Amino acid sequence: MPLAALIFDVDGTLAETEEIHRAAFANAFAEAGLDWTWDVDLYRELLKVTGGKERIRRWLDMLGADAPTLAEADLAALHAAKNAYYGAIVRAGHCALRPGVERLLREARARGLRLAIATTTSRANVEALLPAILGPDGASLFEAAICGEDVLAKKPAPDAYHLALRRLGLAAADCLAFEDSENGLAAARAAGLRTIVTPSLYTAHETFDGAAQVIDDVAAFDLAAWID
Ligand code: XBP
Ligand code: MG
């Protein structure tokens, strides 16, 4: 089947961002006077819930009776503070692309393929990350970027992929998705997309049944074999 476009997840797929998200959550919690510590094991558990705001809600559920009362506006402010920290950290240059990503993006464009993003993270985070990891033309490589705010249901729901396909004006069969997590794979597959999985720091233990390929990173991905 000929390929017309590649659609990329962001967190864990383009770059290992989750330790930056975790540090940003820690900064926001400390600033708000909240004595919460999300260590690596707890964060791995919490990552089953996609979306930072949804993740904080899940944590409040876990705290049960010990949870402070947090109005919806407080939750939104806490999440906005976390994303401000995230943006500052990536703009300071503390994030790099995963191996092979830049080569694949530029090779795909050179071969006439179109690129899009389907992510659950906030648009501000994508706008901070792309120039930081890809340089000034980073964002313009992608024709469409579907972010957390753009959909009603985040991954594993297929909404972000459905919207990306609609923006591209393409059918699922014309595209290939790149993901790093079970949630992302489920979202892409539910939209009918063949999916390449590159497990990341926080998803290496997951299972990826139904993936078209599972590879360490896209440095091992042979684009020519998919389009020729
Ligand atoms: C990643 C996420 C994101 C980030 C946080 O999932 O779940 O929510 O952790 O971003 P995926 P926000 O890689 O499947 O998109 O705090 O902006 O929601
Ligand atoms: Mg991901």
Query: How much is the mean pLDDT over the chain?
Result: 96
Instruction: Check pocket membership of 199 for ligand 1, CB cut-off 6 A.
Output: no
Instruction: Outline where DSSP puts E strands in 12-138.
Output: 114-118
pLDDT in tens, 176-187: 999 999 999 999
Has residue 122 got a pLDDT over 90?
Answer: yes
Whole-angstrom Cα Rg for the chain: 17
* Strands lying side by side in the sheet with 5-8: 144-146, 114-118, 5-8, 175-179, 194-197, 213-214
Interacting residues of 56 by C-beta distance below 8 A, sequence separation 6+: 25, 70, 75, 78, 79
CA 11, CA 181: separation in Å to the nearest integer?
9
CA 79, CA 18: separation in Å to the nearest integer?
15
Percent of the chain at pLDDT exceeding 90: 95
In order of start, what are the domains of the chain with their CATH numbers? 5-16+96-227 (3.40.50.1000), 18-91 (1.10.150.240)
pTM of the model: 0.96
Confidence band of 190 (pLDDT split at 50, 70, 90): very high
Atom of ligand 1 nearest to the CA of 79: 16
Based on the residue annotation, tell me whether 41 is a catalytic residue of this protein.
no
Q: Which of 150, 185, 144 is nearest to 164 (CA)?
A: 144
pLDDT in tens, 15-34: 999 999 999 999 999 999 99
Predicted local confidence at residue 228, as pLDDT: 72
Partners of 5 in the β-ladder: 114, 175
Find the 120 Cα to ligand 1 centroid distance in Å.
5
pLDDT in tens, 38-49: 999 999 999 999
Element housing 178 (H / E): strand 175-179
SS3 146: strand
* Contact (CB, 8 A) for 196 and 222: no
Instruction: Check pocket membership of 52 for ligand 1, CB cut-off 6 A.
Output: yes
For ligand 1, atom 7: residue with the closest CA: 50
Based on the residue annotation, tell me whether 209 is a catalytic residue of this protein.
no
CA 85, CA 87: separation in Å to the nearest integer?
5
For ligand 1, atom 16: residue with the closest CA: 52
Find the 184 Cα to ligand 2 centroid distance in Å.
6
Confidence band of 138 (pLDDT split at 50, 70, 90): very high
Q: Which of 172, 136, 177 is nearest to 10 (CA)?
A: 177
Say how many residues make up the chain: 228
Has residue 1 got a pLDDT over 70?
Answer: no
Residue 164 has which token pair? 């990306």
